[in-house]
Structure 1
Amino acid sequence: MKKRLFSLFPWLQQGIDPNCIIGVATYAKTVNAVCLKQIQGLWQIEKTHTEYVTDLRDYTTAITTCTNEVSRQTCAVNLVVPHYFYQILQMEKPNLTDEEIIQSLPWTSKDLVNIAPENIVADFIDYPIALPMQSKKMNVFITDKQQIIPLINCFIDTDAVLRSLTSEEMVLLALFGKNKDAHMLVVQHADTEPRILIVRDGQLVLVRRLNGFIGITDKDSAVVDALALEIQRSMDFFESQLKQPPIRSVQLQCDSLSSLAVRAELAELLQTKVVDFQPNSDMAKGVEKQFYYALGAALLMTNKD
């Protein structure tokens, strides 16, 4: 399975320091960057930096500033595309090479999205569950070239080189690590709708975006009940329709749903362990939560396959 999506810049390799990598991510009202350096074969955090923003138009400047603050070396950057910049669709996987599939996606997906084919930038990962009598499927990530060009242009004024763009889902997989059991992640940033992800053995096996939960807080017991219902529906679909083993835990990666009371309420309603999300990475233990996505983006670049 691919570790990075939207790898648009394979030719930008000459002169890049292989022992320095930067991950950059926008998160809520901040832009965060993490620089990793490899010393004697081991990667470690060299520097982190946060820029606070109050207007979406300020994100591009903040991305440039963050990148320059963590390193002025000529090294590779992996940028996390904000989740509201892309869509995820499930499609049948044609019997073509990966390169041929990527080349064909703007035309095979054009009727499913409101983006002109010439502006579609798409990539895919294999859907890991194969059911009897069904064709192979793939999860397709689609973004609009016109939206991401300003993000790409942020790096004109940096010594670092943008090598790839990735999605938040791929970053969360990298942070979660491999685990043979299936676990659910409930992800919600401030002022956005939540998403439900199910991951197993380092693979994304289900992703749903919910509606009607913007602004949910620990005090909204009725809305928490509604969220629990959506979580239960996803669990039932995974276990009954996809015939998969039970979910071992529900992990919250939310800006406003992390209180002990909410975890206890969800655990009682779902009869499943509910905990706050903690990355399965020793490096993550020493950084604040706001740097998780940037760290995950950098970690993806250390494991190129």
Structure 2
Amino acid sequence: MRWPWQKQKIDNQRCLGIELHNSQAFAVLRDASGVVDRYLPDSDEQGLDGIANWLGKQGYQQLAVTISLDQRDYELHLVEAPQVPDEELSDALRFRLKDLVNKPLEDIAVQAFRLPADAYRGRMDMAFAAAIEKSRIRQLVDWCEQNQLILAEITIPELSMLQLVAEIEPETSVGVLRLDPAEGILYLYHNGGLYLTRPLAVGTNDLGLQDGMTDELSLETDSRMEKLALELQRSMDYFESQLGMGSVGQIWALIPDTIELDQVLPELEEAVNTPIRTLSLDSSFNRMPAGMPLTASLATALGGSLSYELAD
């Protein structure tokens, strides 16, 4: 995803991927072999100051960087796409968004991308349009300049995860499930395209997963598990029947940033009758010591960085 002010990529043998998530910042450093370093914020840390300190301590400068925006930083809308060339799509959709966003159009930047042509059985031409305040873009540009980083791309987590899924090359349609303590989100991808993104009103706390411990399942927990399974099933049904894309072959669950999720997945898998597996990236991308997995935010940061081509 390109923003109008962005410059050409520069050659570099390493790339820094950053994800902003729930007002915190996570980062991975990637070279040709994979992820060789990472930054995780403290539990009470906010903003980008922690990464800035880490960059200084590690001596990381003049790196290309991709930034995946916090979902609090942008609005994503699914709208009908006008019949214009792709390079004119973002400008054309600005006016479609004027009644959907709560900010003056002159204060926002819009970046749009179409759904694949086979969505909705080819009967509708739809597009996602991401709207972000220009002032937020300028903050990130200034921060990169202050920390001697070369900003290669600003993207959104939906597209960061698309880059990662495309790199893995699944043979079937896949759902990527991300659960935070109080909420979650499901992305549905097929053949290199994003078809559906759906917020989930259930998080790991609702499933009895808190502070690294699994509570005894209660009737309330069982009810929340059923609610999550129902939301997943409805999303997959929509993907199959309304979008006309067939059944979802599997769901990949991202490793939460602070807790373990594995022990609740078998029950969830049985409820939705679809294979659910933890998305482990260690063998393909992780070159850090054992015991340092690529959790959800790190995986998203990695996905964003994959859009940057490293120099040979």
Q: TM-score, normalised by structure 1?
A: 0.83
Contact 1:31/1:66 (8 A) holds in 2 = no
1:210 aligns with 2:200: yes
1:7 aligns with 2:7: no
Question: Offset at 1:226?
Answer: 0.4
SS of residue paired to 1:102: helix
Greater displacement, 214-223 / 179-188: 214-223
Question: Offset at 1:6?
Answer: 4.5
1: CA distance, partners of 2:6 / 2:164: 24
Contact 2:76/2:128 (8 A) holds in 1 = yes
Change over 3 Å in CA distance of 1:248–1:285 after alignment to 2: farther
**Cross-structure match for 2:211:** none
* Paired letter, 1:276: T
Alignment map for 1:126-275 (pairs within 5 Å): 126-128=114-116, 129-131=118-120, 134-177=123-166, 178-191=169-182, 193-211=183-201, 213=203, 215-218=205-208, 219=217, 220-253=221-254, 255=256, 258-275=260-277
2: CA distance, partners of 1:70 / 1:202: 35
Q: TM-score, normalised by structure 2?
A: 0.81
Contact 1:80/1:166 (8 A) holds in 2 = yes
Question: Offset at 1:98?
Answer: 2.6
Alignment map for 1:8-27 (pairs within 5 Å): 8-11=4-7, 16-27=10-21
* Paired letter, 1:292: A
**Cross-structure match for 2:44:** 54
1:294 aligns with 2:295: no
> Alpha carbon RMSD of aligned pairs, Å?
2.9
1:111 aligns with 2:102: no
What percentage of aligned pairs have identical amino acids?
22
SS of residue paired to 1:48: strand
CA displacement, residues 79-122 of structure 1 (integer Å, 9 cap, x when unaligned): 11112222221112222223322223332211112122012222
SS of residue paired to 1:7: coil
Contact 1:67/1:160 (8 A) holds in 2 = no
Where does structure 1 differ by over 6 angstroms across 4 or more consecutive aligned residues? none
2: CA distance, partners of 1:268 / 1:105: 41
Change over 3 Å in CA distance of 1:34–1:133 after alignment to 2: closer
SS of residue paired to 1:91: strand
CA displacement, residues 15-64 of structure 1 (integer Å, 9 cap, x when unaligned): x4432321112346853322233xxxx454443333426253xx132243
* Paired letter, 1:301: Y
Contact 1:35/1:71 (8 A) holds in 2 = no
Contact 2:74/2:131 (8 A) holds in 1 = yes
Give the length in aligned residue pairs.
291
Change over 3 Å in CA distance of 1:261–1:45 after alignment to 2: closer
Contact 2:121/2:244 (8 A) holds in 1 = no
2: CA distance, partners of 1:53 / 1:152: 26
CA displacement, residues 156-200 of structure 1 (integer Å, 9 cap, x when unaligned): 321211121111111212222322411112212334x21111111
Question: Offset at 1:209?
Answer: 1.4
* Paired letter, 1:11: K
